[in-house]
A and B are shown apart, each in its own frame.
Chain A
Amino acid sequence: DIQMTQSPSSLSAFVGDRVTITCRASQAISNYLAWYQHKPGKAPKSLIYAASSLQSGVPSRFSGSKSGTDFTLTINSLQPEDLATYYCQQYHSYPRTFGQGTKVEIK
């Protein structure tokens, strides 16, 4: 199985800050990587697919990038509504695997 190692497990930042979350795959997954936002009591929502493509309707302050087997989700200018847990997921092969999640809090 492909392991997805996500860091940090949590972070706290001010409104307006730039936030970066990383995810490392245990083997090559090309760009078959998605990022999800999960707010308490809500269904997870896809933000980024194919490592760097923005899902329709998602604010442009969210972006994704890839370097080898390392993937990054960046939130430019953090907003109060971005309070959530963020997960990466590989869809290169089965079983699909998620990172452990990063809880983003607002200072």
Chain B
Amino acid sequence: EVQLVESGGGLVQPGRSLRLSCAASGFTFDDYAMHWVRQAPGKGLEWVSGISWNSGSIGYADSVKGRFTISRDNAKNSLYLQMNSLRAEDTALYYCAKDRGGTLEDWGQGTLVTVSS
């Protein structure tokens, strides 16, 4: 059974940093691209960033480019999102998702990030 477990969320002040993690199990992690998707309270889904199986291809939404960095450690079956210069508008539930042929086939339960002073 595929499991994706996000962690690292919390309350952080504007301008500070936070690092999210996603622990994967139940599948061969280094066979798949992975993504971070967020959902602000009461709002829709917003793609944040994606990374190919070997980290050779990485993409970011314009809203986070230059502030967020996605990475993965295939030896640890883990996906990360380093978030710097956080803003109030980054407040959201952050999901990690497994990509199969362009489809976000499996999702974690999310970790909540709240940016507030």
- Decide if A and B are genuine partners: no
Residues in B lying within 8 Å of A, measured CB to CB: none
Residues in A lying within 8 Å of B, measured CB to CB: none
